[in-house]
Copies of this chain bind each other. A is one copy, B any other.
């Protein structure tokens, strides 16, 4: 009797899974045009997930890392986190009368972003520290969430979280359905991303690697808080990406996705591991639906990376040619 039931169960399972497989044969990467890029992805996933494949990789080792700015969401006309910081400067201005005569703030108030950022890295750092430090981690999380709920992109007038790439959302889901653990490895602030990436990308906070400032543990009214200090802790860009991956993930990814020279070391580190590896660059070639930029852009420059990708036959996504739609709102 028990054996009969088990056989019925096995039969049922086989049939039901057969049905599921059919139902799912609707393409998981439906926003990707057929072509070399899409094919390289599905072939890689097939060979590392098929039991018995000589290149099979156990699920625990299926780590995939994604840059964020320019890879999962847009980054023009400047990094969205910088737009956040500029909005914060305006919001905080009444509390900082001294900013009126002090660069980079003075230029910002005149609406001259270019002049404000002329001070280079130091100016950016000053803006970041003035807007990202001095509060508890819980307070900062709320500030980010509130901003995202109301802020609009300067040219598209859309919420920033709608400027994520539909084909990449499908890719994230496809990899996870194939037993991969997906991580963000971004030069952006780790605490700027964590409040929203779980709902938008399905990536939990513990799978976000990013840049950070130092924090301090403190008791306030008998309750512990973490206070954000105006001091850099870690810059997760270029050389920092393999270091961030090693510190926080502790296992070499088998697949890496980026769009700029800042991701090059991450792609090198990933592909230098033993066994099957996958590296992909998103190339911004679509001036009409998104933006077109590469070697000469100050944001998301892709120059050395493009040469190395071509030389090493990494996958290069030609956004204009390879993506049916760019943003989720474009589907239909």
Show the binding face of A for B, using Cβ within 8 Å: 2, 5-6, 8-9, 11-13, 15-16, 60, 63, 137, 181, 190-191, 194, 198, 204-208, 212, 215-217, 223-224, 226, 233, 239, 242-243, 246-251, 265, 268-269, 272
Residues of B within 8 Å of A268, CB to CB, are: 224
Chain B residue nearest in CB terms to A269? B224
Distance of A246 Cα from B269 Cα, bound (Å): 26
Contact assessment for A212 and B12 in the assembled complex, using a CB-CB cutoff below 8 Å? no
Contact assessment for A9 and B8 in the assembled complex, using a CB-CB cutoff below 8 Å? yes
Q: Knowing A6-B12, A8-B9 touch, does A247 contact B212 (C-beta < 8 A)? A: yes
Residues of B within 8 Å of A16, CB to CB, are: 5-6, 9
Picked from B12, B204, B215, B239, the residue with its CB within 8 Å of the CB of A251 is B204
Distance of A181 Cα from B204 Cα, bound (Å): 12
Chain B residue nearest in CB terms to A249? B206
Residues of B within 8 Å of A190, CB to CB, are: 247, 250
Distance of A9 Cα from B233 Cα, bound (Å): 54
Contact assessment for A224 and B272 in the assembled complex, using a CB-CB cutoff below 8 Å? yes
A-B residue pairs, 3 tightest by C-beta: A9-B12, A205-B250, A217-B239
Within the complex, what minimum Cβ distance (angstroms) separates A207 from chain B? 8
Within the complex, what minimum Cβ distance (angstroms) separates A241 from chain B? 8
Distance of A216 Cα from B239 Cα, bound (Å): 8
Contact assessment for A60 and B243 in the assembled complex, using a CB-CB cutoff below 8 Å? no
Contact assessment for B223 and A243 in the assembled complex, using a CB-CB cutoff below 8 Å? no
Q: Is the interface of A mostly helix, strand, loop or mixed?
A: helix
Q: Knowing A217-B242, A272-B223 touch, does A206 contact B8 (C-beta < 8 A)? A: no
Residues of B within 8 Å of A194, CB to CB, are: 250
Residues of B within 8 Å of A224, CB to CB, are: 242, 265, 268-269, 272
Contact assessment for A8 and B6 in the assembled complex, using a CB-CB cutoff below 8 Å? no
Residues of B within 8 Å of A250, CB to CB, are: 190-191, 194, 205-206, 208
Contact assessment for B205 and A251 in the assembled complex, using a CB-CB cutoff below 8 Å? yes
Q: List 10 A-B contacts (CB under 8 A).
A: A181-B206, A190-B250, A191-B250, A205-B249, A206-B248, A208-B250, A215-B247, A217-B265, A224-B272, A248-B248
Contact assessment for A251 and B206 in the assembled complex, using a CB-CB cutoff below 8 Å? yes
Distance of A208 Cα from B190 Cα, bound (Å): 18
Distance of A269 Cα from B137 Cα, bound (Å): 13
Residues of B within 8 Å of A198, CB to CB, are: 60
Chain B residue nearest in CB terms to A183? B206
Distance of A262 Cα from B147 Cα, bound (Å): 37
Chain B residue nearest in CB terms to A195? B250
Distance of A265 Cα from B217 Cα, bound (Å): 9
Within the complex, what minimum Cβ distance (angstroms) separates A192 from chain B? 12
Contact assessment for B265 and A242 in the assembled complex, using a CB-CB cutoff below 8 Å? no
Residues of B within 8 Å of A249, CB to CB, are: 205-206
Within the complex, what minimum Cβ distance (angstroms) separates A210 from chain B? 10
Within the complex, what minimum Cβ distance (angstroms) separates A253 from chain B? 11
Within the complex, what minimum Cβ distance (angstroms) separates A232 from chain B? 13
